[in-house]
Amino acid sequence: MSDAPLLSVRELTVRFGRTLAVDRASFELWPGEVLAIVGESGSGKTSLLRAVHGDLPADGGRVQYRLDDGAPVALDALPEPMRRQLARTQWGFVHQNPRDGLRMSVSAGGNVGERLMAAGARHWGGIRAEATEWLRRVEIDPARIDDPPRTYSGGMQQRLQIARVLVTRPRLVLMDEPTGGLDVSVQARLLDLIRRLVSDLGLSVVIVTHDLAVARLLADRMLVMQGGRIVEAGLTDQVLDDPQHPYSQLLVSSVLQA
């Protein structure tokens, strides 16, 4: 781990009209770290993630990102072309619903290759080889490279979305409930895959989830959100085993034991 945070969020606030969705959220993400944001529905975790990514305009606060050369940049001060280029190459966003992150009418190979082509790759064979390699890495049969994602199962679609995001080797990946809507065995396999890819590629990840087990399995550190506020932050095991805030205690005690 390096001695400067990759991402630093200060007092970030998001409002929807009179509703305060995110209330002065601050956190830091260090290189190679996986940070989980947990909380119930409506607690503002997805809004926080989208505001960090720049999809939602923030009503206050700032997000600072450290470029590969070590220079910190404030995202709201970055001109749009640069911000979009950053989002296309160094960042990745994994949506809860793979339909939001994939082009459903374009073949799997085209989906994985899109970010490469956006980054300027113009050699068809090279793009295809890279796409094939990534399908293999996310455990999709490369023989299905020309099938459109709508012919894929839910779990495969989610793995394809991850391949599509990781193909440009981003440094920072934001995931919004990547395992939501999948049944438990598929979920377990996907978590396994994410954990392996994260450690292989040395990714820094912010993962939003309502599932504490997901946080336990993947995250180094976690934040607990309630009503738009971060109410507790700490090492994952520490928060889950010894929650301090009443809401965290409630959350941990609400988990059903099979």
Partner 1 sequence: MSLPGYNFAYLDEQTKRMIRRALLKAVAIPGYQVPFASREMPLAYGWGTGGMQVTAAVIGPDDVLKVIDQGADDTTNAVSIRRFFALTAGVRTTERTVEATIIQTRHRIPETPLTAGQILVYQVPQPEPLRKLEPRETETRRMHALAEYGLMHVKLYEDIARHGRITLSYDYPVLVNGRHVMAPSPIPSFDNPKMHRSPALQLFGAGREKRIYAVPPYTSVESLAFEDHPFHPWKANAPCGLCGATDSYLDEVVVDDRGGRLFVCSDTDHCTTRRAAGHRGAAAGHALAGAGE
First to last CA, the chain: 37
Q: Which two tokens stand for residue 35?
A: 């940070």
**Out of 4, 74, 103, 250, the residue judged to bind partner 1 by CB under 8 A:** 103
- Least distance (Å) between residue 108 CB and partner 1: 10
- Least distance (Å) between residue 156 CB and partner 1: 18
- 1 lies in the binding site for partner 1 (CB under 8 A): no
- Least distance (Å) between residue 185 CB and partner 1: 31
- 110 lies in the binding site for partner 1 (CB under 8 A): yes
Residue 115 or 137 with smaller CB distance to partner 1: 115
- Least distance (Å) between residue 138 CB and partner 1: 19
- Total residues at interface with partner 1 (CB under 8 A): 24
- 124 lies in the binding site for partner 1 (CB under 8 A): yes
- 90 lies in the binding site for partner 1 (CB under 8 A): no
- Least distance (Å) between residue 16 CB and partner 1: 21
Site for partner 1 in 136-195 (CB under 8 A): 145-146
- Least distance (Å) between residue 133 CB and partner 1: 16
Q: 3-class secondary structure for the chain?
A: CCCCCCEEEEEEEEEECCEEEEEEEEEEECCCCEEEEECCCCCCHHHHHHHHHCCCCCCEEEEEEECCCCCEEEHHHCCHHHHHHHHHHCEEEECCCHHHHCCCCCCHHHHHHHHHHHCCCCCHHHHHHHHHHHHHHCCCCHHHCCCCHHHCCHHHHHHHHHHHHHCCCCCEEEEECCCCCCCHHHHHHHHHHHHHHHHHHCCEEEEEECCHHHHHHHCCEEEEEECCEEEEEEEHHHHHHCCCCHHHHHHHHCCCCC
- 127 lies in the binding site for partner 1 (CB under 8 A): yes
Please name which of 188, 251, 185, 204 lies closest in space to residue 223, comparing C-alpha atoms: 251
| Residues pairing with 170 in the sheet | none
Radius of gyration of the chain from its Cα atoms, rounded to whole angstroms: 18
Residue 121 or 186 with smaller CB distance to partner 1: 121
From the list 38-46, 66-74, 105-113, 229-237, the region that binds partner 1 by CB under 8 A is 105-113
From the list 15-23, 109-117, 172-180, 231-239, the region that binds partner 1 by CB under 8 A is 109-117
- 129 lies in the binding site for partner 1 (CB under 8 A): no
- 122 lies in the binding site for partner 1 (CB under 8 A): yes
Residue ranges binding partner 1 (CB under 8 A): 80-81, 84, 103, 106-107, 109-110, 113-115, 117-120, 122-128, 145-146
